[in-house]
Amino acid sequence: DYQIIELNNKPYYKVIRADDTHQLYVSFLSLLRNFDKEDLEALWSLVKERFSTTKPKNFSDDFLLVTLGVMFEKPDVHAQI
């Protein structure tokens, strides 16, 4: 699972593994650099599930959803630009 927490007025991504250990990341890019492909796919599944029925309520959640969506979704070649 993941949470976006605030420490010292800065947002951090807190990634919680199945064994209840966690890691904090200052930026989304630092989070991605430290993930392997399997972890990224698991994160994408969690994000899709979380936002399947609701919309993101803040910038960080929206950024996470959009960024992972760009990474994992196939582009619509027929989309209007």
* pLDDT tens string 27-64: 877 877 777 788 888 888 988 898 888 888 888 788 88
Rounded to the nearest 10 degrees, how much is the dihedral formed by the CA atoms of 20, 26, 31, 32?
170
Structural domain range at position 63: 2-72
Q: pTM of this prediction? A: 0.50
Residues in the chain: 81
User: Which of 32, 33, 55, 53 is CA-nearest to residue 44?
Assistant: 32
> Does residue 80 lie in a domain region?
no
> Does residue 79 lie in a domain region?
no
Number of domains the chain is built from: 1
Contact 5, 11 (CB under 8 A): yes
